[in-house]
Every structure is written in C-alpha cells, then in structure tokens.
Structure 1
Amino acid sequence: MRTPGGFSLRLEPRALIVVVLLLAAACAAGVALIGTGDAKIPAADVLRTLAGNGTAYQDFIVNELRLPRVLVGLLVGAALGLGGALFQSVSRNPLGSPDLLGLSQASTAGALVVIVLLSGSASQVTLGALVGGLATGLALYALAWKQGVHGYRLVLVGIGVNAVMTAVNGYLLTKADLVDATRAVVWMTGSLSGRDWDQVWPLLGLCAVLVPLVLAQARGLRMMEMGDDISNALGVRVQRVRLLLMVSAVLLTAAATAAAGPVSFVALTAPQLARRLTRSPGPNLVASLCMGATLLVAADWAAQRAFGADQLPVGVVTGVLGGAYLLWLLVTERRAGRI
C-alpha cells in the first residue's frame, strides 16, 4: 500500500493477526497484573475501575498504585523489543542485542556512578543511565566504524564493551558503602516494584517520538538486510539510516533500563519469537514491540503469582526464561547445521 505522500506500508495478514493477538495478550496480562497482589481485585472490577466506575478504594489501588507499574512494564518491554529488533537488523546477527553489546551494562554503569559516587536521587539515577547508555552507544559506533559499520564488527566490539562495562560495574560496587551497594544491587536486578507516574511520562514521551521515527525507516531497514551495496543502489542512504536507527535503539534501551533497571534477555528473545510467529522476513518491528511488551508484563504477573507480590523481581524471571530460550535456540541451530 502506498499513501499519496509516498509513504509505503506493507501489510501481511499473518503478521497483522500476530500483532493483534499479542496486543490482546498484553492487555489481558496487564489487567491480570493489576488485579494481583495483597488486595486481589477481579478482572471485571479492574475494567470497571479503569472506566471510572469503581469505588474510591478500588480507584486508589488500581489507578494510583498498580496502573503505573503495568504501564511502565508495557513501555519498557516495548522499548526493549523494538531496540533489540533494530540492533539485530542493523548488525544482521541474531545475537546483536543490547544485552550482549554492552548497552544495558553501560546504562547500569551510568546509574551506578550516580548511586555510588554522587548518592543521587531517583531522577538523577535515571539521567545517569540515559547518559551512560547514549555515550557508550556512540563510542560503540565509532569503534566499529571502518568505511561503514558492519554487523560482525559491531557485535565483536560490543562484546568487548560489555566485558569492560561489567568490570566497571563490579569496581563501583566494591567502592560503595553498604547502604548504597544494597540500593545498587536491587536496581541492577531489574524490577517494576514501586514504579509510579514519574517513570511513566518520560518513557511514554520518548516512545511517542522514537517509535514513529523508527517505523518510518522500516522500508530502508528491510532493504539494508540485503547488503549495503544493494541498498545504496536502491537509493537508501545506508550510513545515515543506520546511524539514525542505532541512536534510536540506544535511546530506547537506555530509557527502558533507566525506568526498570537492566531487565535481561527481553531485547534478545522478543524479535526472535516475533519472527518465528509471523514467519515473515525483515525486521518485524511492530511485532517485536508487541512481543516485548507482552513478555515483560506476563513475566511480572508470573513472578507475583508464583512467589507473591514483590518477592521476585521481573529481571530474574526474564533472565531464567531468556537464558533457557537462548540455549534451546543454539541447540536447534546446531542440529540444523547452521552453527
């Protein structure tokens, strides 16, 4: 489909159905999560309260305490899913994830500097995570540049950056006093506990700007997966588009990390699962976004149902599930003879 302004949109029935089902699953998991906790609220009452017809008690529990947590979970999952899809497409490598390229660790390092060295507030920790992620992303791009940025070089440099950032984080923890170290470790686990509207609005504003910007480059990104020479021949400004998408992916990852801590493996697994469900070539940006949101909220709901409210951070659940998925993926690829 091509609009009068020249913007092309490709619609695939299976991909559209997958996106709709993922959105429905994300909403259902969000409603279930709102109703889960010490004060359990039935799903019908949650929906009634969200529509403005609940009691004063239900309105306080749903809209003030639990809705911000769910919205942060949806936005963080969507940002990580989209950021992971961008990195994997730009690098043309399924391991091209912010988790493995060092960006999550870099955002963590920025937050730790504020917590350990400056004893900063929550808003300052968020700013530190954003600065750390963006600065390291630009350094990663510069180090991987050699007459352009190529996928394997980006991944190799990213693995080195990840190792350095992990060492820096360990060093910062050894320099922290007990109170700051405890606060830092809790933040590093990745959790949605205690999230409120102060985390919702900045993340929502950033996603409102970056998501349309990224989707507008979907055609160029799809062509870039065929190689730089072919993309240039088709009129795509490869390095300009690649830089724009990498900066967007870094900002999405850093903002998600700043809001919920380094939630692991969502950025790696969401694009892979989305591609397997849609069976569609290309970056699958919208499906990856929806998959990330669904995964994170469902993982948080599962953590609360299995272990009680706030006893198990969502980062632990995504780490276990994501690690198991990665091992399964490697075994599958090996049996197929691709690795």
Structure 2
Amino acid sequence: MKHTFKMLCAAALLTGFAACSNDDPDWTVPQQEPSRAPETMETLWRTSPLDADLTTRRELFATIQGYADACSGATFSSFLNGADWLASSLVKYEDILACYNAAFDRVLNGLREEKPAAGEVHIWMLYNMGYVIQTPSGCFGVDIYHRRAAELAPYLDFYASTHVHQDHKSLPLIEAMLEAGKPVVTNYLEEPGYAYTSTTAADYTIGNFVLHTFITNHNNGSTNVPVTVFQIDCGEDTGHFVLLHSGDSNFTADQFNVTEEIDVYIPRYAPNELTENNVIGKLFTPKYVLLSHILELSHTDPDSSRWTLEQGLARAAQLDCEETHMPFWGEKMVWKNGKLN
C-alpha cells in the first residue's frame, strides 16, 4: 500500500513538473491605454476662442477640466522641478500634462515653420499668462512660465516678465536669453547696471518694438509686489499693432498710464471679482480682451486661484469689452486687417 501511495505521489509530481515545463511564462508588462489627451487638444485647436458658439469648446473644456482635476498642485510642482525621466513619465500618465506638453510642441513648431505676412501678427497662447508674439520682423514672449521655456530662446528677440512670482517667469529662459545677449525686461532682475531692469516707469526700443512700461500693484496687502505693465507697439510692418499685458496687476486705475489705442489687452482673471472693469472700458477701450491666468496648475483649487475653465468663460462674458475671449494652451490667433482671426 505504501509502495502504491509513493508511486502515485511521484506520478503526480512528475505530471506537475511536466505541466510547468509546458507553460511559457508571460512576462509582458501590462500596457497603459494610450492617452486621448493629445487628440482632445487637436480637436480643440480646430475650434477658435473667437467662435460665437462655444458649445463644442465647452464640451472639450469639460474633458480638459477633468484631466486637470486629477492632477494635484504637488504633482505639477514635481513635474516642473523633477528630473527629465520623472517629467517624461508624468507626461505619459497625467493627461493634463500631455496637453501641456502638446501645446508647447505646437507653439514651438509654429515659430519654426510659420512667418507672419506683412501686416500680420501671430499671437500664441502658451500657458497661464504666457504669450509668444510673432511679427514679420521679430518675436517676443511675455510671462512665459513653462518647464520647456528655454527652448524658445533662439526664436525670441526679447523676453518680458511682469513680476517676480514663479508663475510669471522662467529662470532657465532668462538665463538662456542673457547668455545669448538678448534683452530680458523685468522689474526684479538683479544685474547691476542692467539696462532692461527698472522698478519705475520706463520706455525701451528693441528692434522694431517700442515698449512703454509702468508699475502697478499686485495687491493692496503686505504681500504686494510690483507688477510691470507692458504696452508694446509692434512696429510699422504690423500696422503698429499695440499689445497691452498687465500680468497680475490688481487694476488700480490711477496706476495705469496707457498712452496708445490698444488692439489686444491681456489681463488676469481678477480674484476681486470684476475689478478688471476698473480699467477696461473706462481708462481705455481695447478692441479685444484675451482673459488669462486660467487653470494654473501649481495652485491647488479655485479657492487658491486655480480658476476653472468654466469660471474663465463666465468672467469673460462679464467684462466691458464685447470682444472678450478666453484662449487656451497652444492656440494661435492672427491679427490681420485690424481684427483677430
């Protein structure tokens, strides 16, 4: 009986070994389903912030907002400050960062491959309050804040930053511009004797661009920092298109010194609701307003100034300029024949 039992056990063991030897182990790592975020952005870019009917954009914005809500401010900060391998991984796994990266690619490719015709200005919205403005004879950026910002340096004639807060500047871009001998216009750059740093109102001419600047408050509290407002005449080859960018100015009317008719004004979403209208339609009447500082990912939530896309659209509808619009990352608008297209 014992002999029979041993034989049965041995047979079972051999059968088990045979079964194991016949099974090819599957070492395939489960693959994440490809992100649809780039497709979402491509669909958005086929619309326009100037569209009269925003139904499609609102639907796309709802999807993008969902991407953003899944990404914490801490994750975004890790992405900005982390090593390249970490940033690359996060772009693969965080849909909103895939959108962020795709938008930069689109702007960079546009600067490389496109050139405005005479009389045109290309206005690229990059991220937050960061814009790249390209004319037939030059190019500049204002408030560029992006992990890849330094890649823009070869294409910019100057870089303007309204104030010292991290979401309105890029130290790598500043360093790249200075190394290339290109102007960086700020109120905070600590370069003794540097011609383009001023804590008071100042005017500059850089190529065909004529800059008129003045200083305003960020807020009225103890954390106030000076904010430089940039009024920029883009030159004869644009028909003297004039841009006004006020960064995080708190719209104190008596601090504004606008000296020309404004074609496009770029204000922030005001934390103190509708104080944008302290200046819009009262001190000056721009042809277009491009409301910005929406969905800034380093902030935590709307209570901490991560304004949602729907909040942005609602605020844009309340500003005292009929042509108020809310562009999003990677979008291009073209100034031609006295209007945006």
Q: Which interval holds the TM-score relative to the shorter structure?
A: under 0.3
Q: Which has the larger radius of gyration?
A: 2
The answer to which structure has the higher strand fraction is: 2
Q: TM-score, normalised by structure 1?
A: 0.26
The answer to which structure has the higher helix fraction is: 1
